[in-house]
């Protein structure tokens, strides 16, 4: 008769803990993370700002060009 050996360590939960002693290290952003955040937030803001300036300048140019086309009614 053939018996299949099973480990008695199967189907057990394993729990681990970490106990710290002393002062924990301070958390800080690395310069790379700060640069990526600045690029990710700054690039869309710069694009929106440049687009707004472009639209304002174009509208002023179109309005100035059309101002001379109006004829008096009377």
pLDDT digits (tens, 9 = 90+) for 5-25: 555 556 666 777 778 788 888
Instruction: Compute the residue count for the chain.
Output: 74
36/42 Cα distance (integer angstroms): 10
5/9 Cα distance (integer angstroms): 12
pTM above 0.85, yes or no: no
CA distances from 52 to 5, 38, 39, 63, 70 (A): 74, 21, 20, 16, 27
- All residue ranges of the chain with pLDDT < 70 are 1-13, 68, 70, 74
Residues 6+ positions from 37 with CB-CB distance below 8 Å:
29
**What is the chain's mean pLDDT, rounded?**
81
Q: Output the pLDDT for position 33.
A: 93
């Amino acid at each position: 008769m053939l018996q299949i050996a099973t480990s008695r360590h199967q189907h057990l939960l394993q729990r681990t803990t970490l106990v710290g002693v002393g002062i924990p290290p301070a958390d800080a952003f690395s310069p790379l993370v700060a640069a990526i955040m600045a690029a990710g937030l700054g690039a869309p803001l710069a694009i929106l700002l440049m687009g707004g300036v472009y639209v304002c300048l174009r509208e002023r140019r179109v309005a100035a060009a059309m101002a001379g086309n109006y004829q008096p009614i009377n």
